[in-house]
Amino acid sequence: MPIPVINVAQMREWEKASWEAGKTESEVIMRVGQLVARRASQMVRPGQLVLVLAGKGNNGNDARRAREHLADWPVYLQDVSNPQEGISELHQILDQRPALIIDGLFGIGINRPLDEHWAALIQRINDLQTKVLSIDVPSGLNADTGEPMGTAIRASVTMTLGAPKQGLLLPSAWPYVGRLEVVPDIGLAKCPFTGETNWTLPEDFNNFPPERPATAHKGNFGRIAIIAGSLGYHGAAVLAARGAQRAQPGLITLYTNEEVYHSIAPQLQAVMVSIWNSKLSLPGDFNAVLIGPGLAAGDIPDDMKMMTRHVWRDAAVPVVVDASALDWLPLAPFPKNAIRVITPHPGEASRILRCSAKQVEANRPNALREVSKRLGNCWVVLKGNQTLIGRSSGEIYVNPSGNPYLAQGGSGDALSGYLAGLLAQPTLQVDPLKTLRYAVWQHGATADKLTATRNNWIVEDLLKELGSVVPELQDLPPSKPS
Ligand SMILES: NC(=O)C1=CN([C@@H]2O[C@H](COP(=O)(O)OP(=O)(O)OC[C@H]3O[C@@H](n4cnc5c(N)ncnc54)[C@H](OP(=O)(O)O)[C@@H]3O)[C@@H](O)[C@H]2O)[C@@H](O)CC1
Ligand SMILES: Nc1ncnc2c1ncn2[C@@H]1O[C@H](COP(=O)(O)OP(=O)(O)O)[C@@H](O)[C@H]1O
Ligand SMILES: [K+]
């Protein structure tokens, strides 16, 4: 069930429709309180001090309810309807540096810029640099525009209720929102809206990929060709090949440039490694082709670039293009119904669009659509925080998993290999959008799992674990130990 990205007016309508359908506000607030408390308890160790800040609206009521479910922690509940009243008491609590602040000051009901007293209080909280769990919206942030109304809380985690509000997805909001989590079921009626932009939930992947039949053999799971690696960049080829291995296709062949063959081949066992030559005819018998990781050397043969254009234009099988090879793509159509995927980060997308990365980031869904349009309506995975997946029209999905520790050279190579390794499998070609969403989600969820257990993981660790997160067990995301 897709969760649409909505605006504040739609949230209000949904709320109204729910009360008309017989749901009650108090039941919803009770449920939100429980869910907030459950998430909060993941963020602190037993015995650590928790400060609950409750404003005068329903955001504050959510916070007050959460407090009731935190019996095992020392908790201060501070009602703040006027930041000039009881402020010295609040400052004393802040002086004790609570391990977690639950922010229930303002939600979607903020209706004017915060005055200087609110600004001072929020500044004090932000200066503490302690963990903050914001309920629904980081207090002070306009959930439609993604801009602070004067000032806003900088949350570690924002638990938004029902559906993501559009402003929380804008890069201007990211420093305030922190990690965005969506709690879809807070007891409201069915969401009356559908939208072009949707949020991915782990449960979207229950029983996906489907189990393999007992009679299966490797011929059933596709053969993938990976064209990757050049002098100075041989590791990217190894990482992409290992990423593809974690997708478990039938056979993987890596074609690489001669200069790096001997650095790459000994690192890979189950993967076949060959030297690329211009006589190689692709796609041949392959069920998918990945081109790009580590092809950044200055002397990539022109034949390889021509082969990329030819495979993109003509092959019937899925073609995934990443990194440097994105610059070689033709602005030409490809066969109808053929699967074409590109996986740019904002810098790469900006090169395709001949604009700046800043312009891409200013309107990521629009940049995704434009890139896809330019490249014949291919699928685009626009990477970064809240990776987007979609095409020139139709649904765009926002990926919820992953964290800034993925910002390590090579994690993108692991992703493109993994994603292409999945797409090589005939059963996973039927619904390419789902397969792409799954790959991106799994890559991010694996990073989250690693981050929850250790501080120093590297891309090689990611590759060991890639694909191991079970969607059915992802009720709450794993959390870094406090
Ligand atoms: N949507 C749903 O289905 C559900 C939503 N729920 C929750 O309710 C939240 C929305 O609650 P809400 O409508 O009571 O508004 P909220 O954000 O708590 O604050 C508004 C208060 O702030 C005040 N105020 C505003 N601006 C101000 C300013 N600049 N400076 C000072 N004051 C200002 C304004 O007072 P005013 O002075 O304007 O009279 C008002 O009293 C939502 O985010 C979610 O957490 C769930 O519990 C149930 C299901
Ligand atoms: N702040 C972040 N939050 C979540 N994911 C991130 C963040 N920064 C980077 N990533 C992810 O890390 C990967 C980096 O890929 P890329 O930029 O291509 O790196 P490389 O080319 O070095 O492998 C992408 O999957 C991207 O979505
Ligand atoms: K809040």
pLDDT in tens, 311-346: 999 999 999 999 999 999 999 999 999 999 999 999
- pLDDT tens-digit map of 444-474: 999 999 999 998 999 999 999 999 999 988 7
Count of alpha carbons within 13 Å of 335, Cβ hemisphere only?
A: 12
Which CATH superfamily is 218-471 part of?
Ribokinase (3.40.1190.20)
For residue 190, pLDDT over 90 is answered with yes
Whether 282 has a pLDDT exceeding 90, the answer reads yes
* Residues in CB range of 239: below 8 A, 6 or more apart: 293, 410, 413, 414, 417, 459, 463
**Is the pLDDT assigned to residue 285 strictly greater than 60?**
yes
Judged by its nearest atom, the ligand closest to the C-alpha of residue 103 is: 3
Q: Which atom of ligand 2 is nearest to the CA of 236?
A: 23
- Which of 281, 249, 285 has its CA nearest to residue 420? 249
Is 161 near ligand 1, meaning CB less than 6 Å away?
yes
Supply the pLDDT for residue 85: 85
Strand 50-54's sheet: what is its strand order? 75-79, 50-54, 100-104, 131-135, 157-161, 179-183
Q: Of all residues in the chain, what percent carry a pLDDT higher than 90?
A: 94
**Minimal CA–CA distance to 157: which of 321, 294, 43?**
43
pLDDT of residue 478: 66
Beta strand residue intervals within 324-408, DSSP E: 340-342, 379-382, 388-390, 396-398
* Residue of 216, 215, 178 whose CA lies nearest to 43: 178
Q: What is the ipTM of this complex?
A: 0.93
* Amino acid residing at 52: V
According to DSSP, the residues that pair with 254 across neighbouring strands are 226, 273
pLDDT at residue 482 is higher than 60: no
CA of 107 to the centre of ligand 1 (A): 5
Strand partners, 340: 319
H or E segment to which residue 240 belongs: helix 234-246
CB of 385 shorter than 6 A to ligand 2: yes
Taking only the tens place, the pLDDT of each residue in 159-185 is: 999 999 999 999 999 999 999 999 999
DSSP 6: B
Each domain of the chain, given as residue ranges in start order, spans 3-194, 218-471
pLDDT, position 87: 82
Which ligand 2 atom sits nearest the alpha carbon of residue 347?
A: 17
- Ligand 2 within 6 A of 401 CB? no
Write down how long the chain is: 482
Location of structure tokens 């090879």: 325
Contact indicator for 153, 136 with CB cutoff of 8 Å: no
- 129 carries a ligand binding annotation: no
- Examine the pLDDT at 481 and tell me if it is beyond 60: no
Q: How confident is the model at residue 479 (pLDDT cuts 50, 70, 90)?
A: low
CATH number of 3-194: 3.40.50.10260
Ligand 1 binding pocket includes 187 (Cβ within 6 Å): no
Residue 384, marked binder: yes
463 Cβ contact list (under 8 Å, min separation 6):
239, 242, 243, 246, 414
Query: Is-same-fold flag (3-194; 218-471)?
Result: no
